[in-house]
Amino acid sequence: MIEMGVDAEALKALGRALKAEADGKQLRRDLIKQLKAPLAPAVAEIRAGLMSIGSGGLPSDGEPLRSAVAKRIRAEAKLSGFAAGVRVRARKTPAVRNFANAAKRLNSPKGWRRRVYGTDRWVVQHGKPHYFDDPLAHRRAEFRAAVLRAMEDLAARIAANAKRG
């Protein structure tokens, strides 16, 4: 077994080594795919949590808020630059039905203030606090192990290619 730590610098160094490798593009693609694979169940759980938020049953014009936010949740892996790492992001949504930062607000335990339609009264509304955070927090050790495994597999692959060459 190869002993290694997991941090942004280690991933950056690995990214630089891949660029220098003759088959670097394919190795890089395979590594990114392997790094993102363990995030798939968490992304599915995040989307399910989001879709379980009640809609109030009121008809609305345009795209439904929950599905607009859910389709913009993505797993990302980046091997170079300042933000090297593996993460799940909720990409900024255009203000769906005039609701800016919807993913962040729906996740917040504080909720958000909104005016009651047709009145001057304001209320605090809550989405589903931690629908985004909890699925990721519960799998933290699993993600770390998957990153180590992916780096070890890639190191073994590079070593095997070096022995053949």
* DSSP secondary structure, the chain, as one string: ------SHHHHHHHHHHHHHSTTHHHHHHHHHHHHHGGGHHHHHHHHHHHHTS--TT---SSS-HHHHHHTTEEEEEE-SSTT-EEEEEEPPPP-BTTBTTHHHHHH-TT-EEEEPTTSS-EEEE---TTTTHHHHHTTHHHHHHHHHHHHHHHHHHHHHHHHH-
Q: 74-85, pLDDT tens digit by residue?
A: 999 888 888 888
Q: Check residue 1 and give its pLDDT.
A: 41
Average pLDDT over residues 141-150: 90
Report domain extents, the chain: 8-90+131-164
Percent of the chain with pLDDT over 90: 34
pLDDT tens by residue, 112-136: 898 888 899 999 989 899 999 999 9
Residue 107 pLDDT > 70: yes
